[in-house]
Amino acid sequence: MIESIISDLKLVSNNKKATTLSRFFKTGKGEYGEGDKFAGITVPNSRLVAKKYARTIDYNTIQDLISSEIHEYRLTALLILVEKFSKKKLDTDREVLINFYLSNTQYINNWDLVDLSCYKILGEWLLDRDKSVLFQLADSTILWEQRISIVTCMHFIRNEQYDTFIQIAEKLLNHPHDLIHKAIGWLLREIGKKNIEVEKVFLKKHYKNMPRTTLRYSIEKFPEEERQKYLKGTI
């Protein structure tokens, strides 16, 4: 089956787009995506391939795909997992998938791979379960595992559960990397859509000392006058 999947992916590859994506996802020396290889496949095309094979693919084949050196092949594997997870109803089947996902975080190694998979799989699974695994990921030295710990909380936020994200955000608030700053700001903004008071309580406590990028992302939808007060530290 892997040969058939790769054949389908090659049909929708584009060399010119691959060059553009390589720059966009920072694959140069010393950049966060250093050495990653792209085939130039759009996310919609990856989704189509994922949907085609999700019902019949086995975990050995997904393993071959998720461990590929090609970025979009890994993304397709993750989209297959998202699709499979949404269709599985038995907790025993879902737990197998969760364990597979967590055992392959080394291949979930760019922000799109994280953001398009973690909250749809881990987030839904952990909604009413022990969330200690997220704190273990937050304590990791690996940037992408730390981002997984944050973005997984999107599902909790959409279900009006905020405490886990707030704890992880406070733990990682002064992280050195911009991609963590952006993720925290993004989810703070999402909290604001559900409960603006919860977001403002967090901001009141941290806005003067949080990274500027986090603050800008979190208050992006605020009225301009209020936004400027936050930026100037006069709230």
What is the SS3 assignment for 137-166? HHCCCCHHHHHHHHHCHHHHHHCCCCHHHH
Cα pseudo-dihedral 148, 121, 21, 14, rounded to 10? 160
> Residue 24's pLDDT is what?
95
> Residue 130's pLDDT is what?
98
> Residue 112's pLDDT is what?
98
> Residue 235's pLDDT is what?
85
**String of DSSP letters for 20-83:** HHHHHTT-STTSTTTT-B-----HHHHHHHHHHHTTT--HHHHHHHHT-SBHHHHHHHHHHHHH
- Number of C-alpha atoms within 13 angstroms, CB side, residue 32? 16
- Number of C-alpha atoms within 13 angstroms, CB side, residue 62? 22
> Residue 31's pLDDT is what?
96
- Tell me the average confidence (pLDDT) per consecutive run of 10 residues in the chain, 235 residues long: 96 97 96 97 98 96 98 98 94 97 98 98 98 98 98 98 98 97 98 98 97 98 96 91
- Domains along the sequence of the chain with CATH: 1-110 (1.25.10.90), 117-235 (1.25.10.90)
> Residue 89's pLDDT is what?
87
Q: Give the other-Cβ count within 10 Å of 53's Cβ.
A: 21
The dihedral through the CA atoms of 84, 32, 106, 166 has a sign that is negative
For residue 213, give Cα distances in angstroms to 74, 116, 183, 207.
29, 22, 10, 11
Q: What is the pLDDT of residues 69-78, one digit of tens each?
A: 999 999 999 9
Is residue 220 helix, strand or coil? Answer: coil
Q: Give the other-Cβ count within 10 Å of 215's Cβ.
A: 23
d(CA 210, CA 73): 36
Maximum CA extent, the chain: 60
